[in-house]
A and B are shown apart, each in its own frame.
Chain A
């Protein structure tokens, strides 16, 4: 697998906004049919990194390569036309639009109606429903339903199905499971597997180590804009990864704190800090 060129590669990428350095010397590779998990605490530079990949920002220095060939994106549309597709936390879709319409935003199917070219609602709805069904979401059967009526997991799935339908080669998932319940997160993880099986390169951004461990082939941990670790599946345990993400602070310290908190608060654990 690794003998071929990676679909997407970053070589020594730096990004600064004026005097503030946000990304330092990032080098990453992601191959087809592989899930790269990008882990990092809030403010570690994950968003800047994915925005750079998606063409929102341009790297200050360093190279981006696709299939071994250097690329440069001036706008998100450039990245999209090269097959880089980003799905955001809430699906990046439009809650008050119908499934069929939102699926085809910007690339509406049209048909002839007398002298006019009109939006082909029937084709749009059928294609959208079919695309989601292929990903195993069978509850979506009416393309006229509004997006806002779907569950969070269904919305994510729809957005991923959309990206795949429009020929994405690199799928960037920005915290897809962060706002979901356990069961729905499982749905989304299954769809990530499905996308991987179809040969997409997936970049999965998360701070939930459990989810990352489930789907990831390859892990990268970002701390304050620098790559703190880059390892493959099975090379590190969950505790080690969590430690890394917390900035190297030993988990043991935290556990000690939690215990003392619990004894001081009648056995209640402290509220989770994400």
Chain B
């Protein structure tokens, strides 16, 4: 019975990320002298996970569908600068700033999506173009309009309560957004037909199109979703910290991709899960922030992330192979133990 459950579990896309999560925490507890009770409740890594997670989810969906969006790196400062310039510098109502930031996300997403669908240029290159272009736009707009690269914003209480509050002293309100969005994505991807379409599109775009799936429209929507989510995260940050800077956001690109890949999404598309991306993000946050709770020097965190990424990818590959062959439980248990040991 137990082995049956295990064999079902390891053939699921999220298996690798759940195991990485457990392995990393165990590693910190055993070798880092972490007190589990202090650690689980710590805000720092949950906040990081939430901000990253809101972006990683749509980026993961795009990857499942066979595309990549790296323009999120520019869309995070773009979101925070839009709200700060509109509602901070020009003192328009906050709602104008919020809608402005989201509208900018939609616009850039449309550009990314349309360019990817209409040309045969890979989306990595298309979004690299919009990434660099948007950085230029943000910097120029900020300097032209405000004469400064950093803009202050004082958001009214109600908007802070929704987008940029600290609950219980140190927990950002975006954690709730992240959990809520995860639930929504989970439902859509795994329980509606649209999820099926995304997987089919990532598996074989031509066959999916021939089966009557509106692949172009769906791709454009996914790009809109990812850049609007990035803009949303930037906007929440500006409302929370009462200011916005033109720089920053670039590390989100790599962090989101690492989270998604550790989460078991296949880089070439067609395989993955929302729960996997969720745990991938958690794992990433635990490694980068959890290291401060340990006796381990924090400079090692990048090494751990690199190793973890490679181990997770190898693990996910072998799990995927098992899923394909409909493996035998006995072998799996052995493999499970060896990968645990390796992790």
Contact = CB atoms under 8 A, between A and B. Distances in A.
Interface of A: 54, 76-77, 80, 86, 88, 92-97, 101-102, 104-108, 110, 113, 116-119, 145-146, 148-149
A79 B200 CA distance: 20
A95 B200 contact: no
Nearest to B204: A94
Given A118-B192, A119-B196, A96 B213 contact: no
A168 to B, nearest CB: 13
B31 interface: no
Contacts of A110: 192-193
A86 B323 contact: no
A59 to B, nearest CB: 19
Contacts of A106: 197, 200, 208, 211-213
Contacts of A149: 323-326
B323 A146 contact: yes
B210 A92 contact: yes
B266 A118 contact: no
A108 B188 CA distance: 14
Contacts of B191: 113, 116, 118-119
Contacts of B196: 97, 101, 104-105, 108, 119
Q: Which residue, A92, A105, A146, has most C-beta atoms of chain B within 10 A?
A: A105
Nearest to B322: A149
B203 interface: yes
B53 interface: no
B270 A105 contact: no
B207 interface: yes
B209 interface: yes
Given A104-B196, A106-B197, A96 B210 contact: no
B184 to A, nearest CB: 11
A104 B211 CA distance: 9
Given A96-B203, A117-B192, 16 more contacts: A76-B209, A76-B210, A94-B270, A96-B324, A102-B200, A102-B203, A105-B207, A105-B213, A108-B196, A113-B191, A116-B187, A118-B191, A118-B192, A119-B196, A146-B323, A146-B324
B5 to A, nearest CB: 15
Interface of B: 187, 191-193, 195-197, 199-200, 203-204, 207-213, 266, 270-271, 320, 323-326
B326 A97 contact: no
B192 A94 contact: no
B211 A105 contact: yes
Q: Which residue, A96, A101, A116, has most C-beta atoms of chain B within 10 A?
A: A96
Contacts of B200: 94, 97, 102, 105-106
A205 to B, nearest CB: 16
A95 B192 contact: no
Given A95-B270, A97-B200, A149-B326, A119 B192 contact: yes
5 contacts: A88-B207, A94-B208, A96-B324, A101-B196, A102-B203
A95 B324 contact: yes
Closest 9 CB pairs of A and B: A94-B203, A106-B211, A108-B193, A106-B212, A148-B324, A96-B271, A118-B191, A105-B200, A92-B207
Given A116-B187, A119-B193, A119-B195, A86 B270 contact: no
Q: Which residue, A97, A116, A145, has most C-beta atoms of chain B within 10 A?
A: A97
A85 to B, nearest CB: 9
A203 B111 CA distance: 42
Contacts of A108: 193, 196
A145 B210 contact: no
Contacts of B266: 96
B202 to A, nearest CB: 8
Contacts of A92: 204, 207, 210
Contacts of B212: 77, 80, 106-107
Contacts of B326: 145-146, 149
A222 B270 CA distance: 37
A80 to B, nearest CB: 7
Contacts of B203: 93-97, 102
A230 B80 CA distance: 69
Contacts of A117: 192
Contact of B192 (A54, A88, A116): A116
Nearest to B203: A94
A108 B196 CA distance: 8
Contact of A94 (B199, B209, B320, B325): B199
B208 A105 contact: yes
B197 A105 contact: yes
A116 B197 CA distance: 17
A118 B186 CA distance: 12
Nearest to B326: A149
Nearest to A110: B193
Nearest to B212: A106
Contacts of A146: 323-324, 326
A88 B207 CA distance: 9
A146 to B, nearest CB: 5
